[in-house]
């Protein structure tokens, strides 16, 4: 027993026992940058610290962001973009130099806690599907050789397109055309202790089927909810049901113990004419209630012990994103750093009275 304690404190555990904790608390945010009018990364640090948001995801490994985050204590997950998967999958040396240049070079001053390998690779076009597992393994091997595997967690985020029959949650399974890629990926992730990362949007589900989904159920508002006839579990909000659908698919595939983390969820505050649910009021309601839901530190009906953790999408409205208007309006903040709507976070732009007071103090 004493040896065990010593091993624990002095870190003699073999990697098989190490599970990286890449997420502090339950609330994080995605810092997307497909825009030409955003504040500087240094201002973003000020904004995040004022909002007390510690967990951040970016979709690349941008130098200016990683430098700005240095010494801040903010915990960041960097992304290997889909366009890099082929090269990194084909060549371990390529993976090693990517990890050295984009991760090792910034540690430990910048708290890089994870590398997301691609984003929503499976379930859409199969353009990158065949490269995902090779890229994951090569990046993990590089991280492991650099003795960083207990610091930096390797994951990949999935959209709900990987699932078939997601309602009721207990009926959810992985789609037939995804299984061949998903099974070996989950096998590897279970070996290295990585979670299943899910991009879950009650907003999109509601927009797709407004006739059958009560908007209050999507917005965490009081509602009759939904029952799962197989498990006899009751759901009072759609996000919990989406997470439990993922747990059911994992269990069906033989990975009952794997944790699900929500890597993107959010609600658009503005949309096109056919996107009537994208309003400031709905976005405020969803994001405010999501904060309250996460602050409870509780699990889902199917996995009550697995505390729900989620990264909100997104930090800013991004004016250069393609697609419908809603895509450019998921931000909790506007590009000038002011809040898009009030869910309890302070914005960068204080009122003129505040700045007058500050200048008098100075």
- Active site amino acids: 120, 264
DSSP 79: E
State how far the Cα of 242 lies from the Cα of 232, in Å rounded to an integer.
16
State how far the Cα of 127 lies from the Cα of 82, in Å rounded to an integer.
9
What is residue 336's three-state secondary structure? Answer: coil
- What is the largest distance, in Å, between two alpha-carbon atoms of the chain? 67
Backbone angles phi, psi at 194, to 5 degrees: -90, 150
146-150 long-range contacts (CB < 8 A, ≥24 apart) are 146/99, 146/100, 146/104, 148/99, 148/103, 148/104, 148/107, 149/15, 149/18, 149/20, 149/192, 150/11, 150/15, 150/18, 150/20
State how far the Cα of 351 lies from the Cα of 334, in Å rounded to an integer.
15
What is residue 235's three-state secondary structure? Answer: strand
Say how far residue 318 (Cα) sits from the centre of its chain: 17
What is residue 189's three-state secondary structure? Answer: helix
The H or E element containing residue 233 is: strand 233-235
State how far the Cα of 95 lies from the Cα of 92, in Å rounded to an integer.
5
Give the residues across from 153 on adjacent strands: 114
């Amino acid at each position: 027993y004493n040896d065990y304690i010593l091993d624990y404190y002095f870190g003699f555990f073999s990697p098989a026992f190490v599970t990286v904790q890449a997420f502090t608390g339950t609330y994080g945010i995605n810092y997307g940058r497909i825009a030409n009018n955003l504040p500087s990364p240094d201002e973003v640090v000020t904004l995040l610290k004022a909002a007390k948001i510690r967990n951040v995801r970016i979709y690349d490994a941008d130098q200016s962001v990683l430098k700005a985050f240095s010494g801040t204590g903010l915990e960041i997950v960097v992304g290997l973009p889909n366009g890099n998967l082929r090269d990194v999958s084909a060549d371990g040396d390529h993976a090693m130099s990517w990890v050295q240049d984009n991760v090792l070079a910034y540690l430990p001053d910048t708290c890089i806690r994870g590398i997301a390998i691609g984003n929503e690779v499976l379930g859409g076009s199969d353009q990158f599907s065949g490269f995902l597992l090779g890229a994951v393994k090569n990046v993990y091997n590089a991280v492991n050789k650099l003795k960083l595997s207990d610091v930096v967690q390797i994951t990949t985020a999935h959209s709900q397109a990987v699932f078939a029959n997601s309602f009721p949650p207990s009926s959810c399974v992985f789609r037939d055309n995804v299984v061949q890629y998903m099974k070996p990926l989950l096998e590897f992730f279970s070996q290295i202790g990585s979670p299943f990362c899910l991009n879950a949007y009650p907003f999109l589900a509601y927009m797709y089927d407004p006739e059958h989904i009560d908007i209050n159920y999507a917005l965490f508002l009081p509602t009759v909810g939904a029952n799962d006839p197989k498990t006899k579990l009751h759901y009072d909000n759609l996000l919990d049901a989406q997470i439990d659908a993922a747990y059911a698919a994992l269990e069906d595939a033989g990975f009952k113990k794997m944790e699900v983390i929500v890597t993107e969820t959010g609600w658009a505050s503005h949309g096109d004419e056919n996107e009537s649910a994208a309003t400031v009021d709905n976005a405020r309601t969803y994001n405010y209630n999501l904060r309250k839901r996460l602050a409870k530190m509780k699990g889902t009906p199917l996995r009550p012990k697995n505390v729900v953790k989620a990264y909100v999408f997104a930090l800013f409205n991004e004016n250069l994103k393609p697609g419908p208007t809603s895509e450019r309006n998921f931000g909790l903040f506007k590009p000038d750093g002011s809040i898009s709507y009030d869910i309890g976070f302070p914005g960068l732009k204080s009122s003129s009275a505040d700045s007058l007071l500050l200048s008098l103090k100075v």
